[in-house]
Amino acid sequence: MSFYSHLNAKIITAEQIETQRKLLEGKRIVFTNGCFDILHPGHVTYLAQARDLGDLLWIGVNSDASVRRLKGESRPINSCEDRMLVLAGLSSVDFVSPFTEDTPLEILKKVKPSVHSKGGDYQVETLPEYQILKEMGADIQILPFVVGKSTTKILEKAKSPS
């Protein structure tokens, strides 16, 4: 299998999620979600830590339309397909799936993770998905924020004159 084929095998479409999930019965699935518009060291660190919480890491990636609604008309910088391919290239990532809603509620119902992980800039009780995760019995883990590493800071630096 070529490296590119290996990456594509990690990308699970919305229609394939339930079939793939059934193949993983008994595994401790860690799920996280986000825009991941410009992948940076904060993301890579956080995803590696998330992967250590279970048997595999599955990432939900906001669609382009969802990113625009959440971040503004100038975003995303990279297409959903490109963002998923880059994430699939990380050794810590087992599966990547797109979702079109602004919150991961629907994809969570399909993936049914044992653990839901978010970066340190979130608080458990304020997550839109908190109630559904509680009902599923999923463990919610907030991982340490990597200070000084953010897509917003990268974009600000790119816009400022050197």
Residue 47's CATH number: 3.40.50.620
Single-letter amino acid, residue 126: T
Confidence of residue 147 (pLDDT cuts 50, 70, 90): low
Q: What is the pLDDT of residue 88?
A: 97
| Residue 67 identity | V
User: What is the edge-to-edge ordering of all strands in the sheet holding 95-99?
Assistant: 95-99, 56-62, 29-34, 115-119, 139-143
Cα–Cα distance measured from residue 28 to residue 101, given in angstroms and rounded to the nearest whole number: 25
Domain boundaries, position 110:
3-159
Q: How far apart are CA 23 and CA 153, in angstroms?
A: 40
Q: What is the DSSP string of 80-95?
A: HHHHHHHHHTSTT--E
Q: How many domains does the chain have?
A: 1
* Entry pTM: 0.90
pLDDT tens digit sequence for 73-120:
999 999 999 999 999 999 999 999 999 999 999 999 999 999 999 988
Q: Average pLDDT for residues 42-69, to the nearest whole number? A: 97
